[in-house]
Structure 1
């Protein structure tokens, strides 16, 4: 069976070591967001690439398939293509198999960049639908020509699509949209028309909110009990109700162009909001007036302010804590009263986002399970940070060790020096051609242009490869700079060890210097992800049966896990650390979780 990686899947370090001598080829398959138009399915790409591998004498157990789903070929920072390069550099695979050069990218400069990166690692690639021989000038020419054609076609399609959408908007038409409850999209007229049944439901929802003082959750429950069909599937969500109320379309104003996609310097894309004056208005059927709309927004604000269990600010892991069950954000919002004090809990945000089954009204939180005591979790993580500050030797020994093992900055510098020398030679060659034309050795302007354009193409390729190397060197330098920042900060933070009155905001800033993310799990385990992603973690068990440290390393996702026994929370002797580890703690109180 083919080994296949999709999404963010990665091999563990143990798996990587086992694959080094076994894998001969990597298959890369990609379907972008316009994959339906391109008619390239992942399955057909993999099947045809595997057929080529077998023709080359490579069996299925000697191949790894990497699937890039929903990524555009003009993105230079695609996760799976980056992982392909990582595997090749690690020594896994000698060839990469693509269905067609446009699966590499639809942009010539990215195709060239990837080609040079693969060749620079001493590896090669094959195409199923394109005959390619890098030793043949004619083949290289065809490769560059098809890349230019693909890039032109991509740009033309995008330009035509954008122009067509704008023309539709100018004519009062809507160029396609996600479903808006209460309306039906008329595909012949390209606009929204009234959906009488859903309009009536929407107006009842407004009445419940403004005149019956129902919350969004109560409205979702009420609609479910009344067996009202939900916009999607068979459940009404409180967040769906909230989004419907916030949508201005019901005032008769649909706006096009509220956001636009921009291209970052590194080639990635980002969707950004547009100023309201640049929005294009399209008239649609009116359900409520603007005064009613503003009353709805005011009521939503009141509900939000008065909502019990709103997230508090005085907790350590604000913005960096995630739920181990579902991956959603975790915040401090739920409190309980005891005889002596008020207890606060970390709560998964998906637990508060309830849904209700149509017909029964049965509540079903998206995420089910326990909450986590804020005071316990914060103390564990803060003690972890304090121990790094007070005993940093092992911390930096591991950083330096891993950096020396993984950093290829010396090799990159050698490659850069070699390329810079080659660049100088090519530029000098270009000048010589001009001099030869001036001296009459090159007879015609056309001959000169042919020779110069060939050199210019080589110069362009070298500059692109130099840019890639500079980016890699910058990454290494940033890691070194972060280490220096941490070292400097550690000296400044020594006073924190003995200061029990430091405010939460300062603790938060210090914590974020070291910790990128904390995951709270159902099985009494806390995963701490450090910013310094090149730390070499390892597996280790403590002598104490209630405490163990499980340090795992997956490519790009290093983590340090803290296991603890909820029956042993904050005993008389306080916190203590396991041997040679600052990540395990013992404490005693069975009420640490709810």
Structure 2
């Protein structure tokens, strides 16, 4: 039985106009018979694992096919190594392999010619990819959006090649940011927003009826909503063949250096201050909205020891034979970097102190200006960054000294010891830089005092619209989290940091 193999990919058909029908017709002429089995792929020839080619190889192995006709060697594969692998597989089983464009001879000269054609085909494929990538980058530099990126809140104007606001979806985007950043009785957290949108019957971008929390989270993190949209941000080279690869062999998407990103015009839906506030809440959400424990604590996720810097979660302890609820910086977890300095404070005392302060702000929002100015002079982030900078300088100095010893070939210290020390210092330096970058990012996201006052005003309106005596524990907890960023606990005092 004769087998006809044909393959064409989108870019090849657009370039040469040689369609699958053309290939099959020419192959049938070459075969000289209409009794042939057709094996057709419409995917890139860069990959060996293709549905029709795999079926052809299996049929050859089973003895169903005895002759194969193909238009050209590069239809089998665009990679020379794969071409040689396939033809060798067919040769071992005595299969006659015939090409429409040129003959395949099992001679040294024929093998050389075949290999040369394969190398040229592989080079041509690489050049096609390079030209297409360069063309896309040039269009992006001209301010043209290459395709519809399916961003919720926007539509794609294919004539102007621009992103435009979809007003119906933009209203949902604004609602999501309001629900996440403002006190309300409708939802709590990202999962609550997803459930709310699902219950309201709001469709997703692809028309699905169910919203997932990860979709909402991605919306809240999307810089396009404040007019920052980039192309050439991600390197997806080699990912096209992932569907044919095992999980551990799949090529991962990588972010390109920022200087290679191409900024494109994008109309904003959310104002910058609200977006940055949402980013801060997202960074702290895991700590601030941690899963419920057996006992609920009003200030859970907001407290930090002013001396050692450890967080202070709530716990139930035994004191003189009775249960006592307290916040403590003591860490009993195995491998904890800092065990804490042993500070513990009764929940009822600290809860009352913080709540009374917040109530004073809510009753008189103008007082927030003074609080913000006082608490932003030397915040924890600034103190910690200064400490990390000094530690980083010491680490770099230590590495330089070891490198000098290594270069000098000091006999008292073995080369292995120096290498180990250098490795440890390098790892320490990387961790310090990572932590420093995180704190710098947090500092960058600090909202100005004007926006802090607007947050207090929103919380105050919500607070004053209700009877203060009727506020539930959850109401108080949510109000505090919309006003307070962190509470630092010292021996005889506390410091409350706002957004």
Structure-2-length-normalised TM-score: 0.44
Answer with 1 or 2: which has the greater Rg. 2
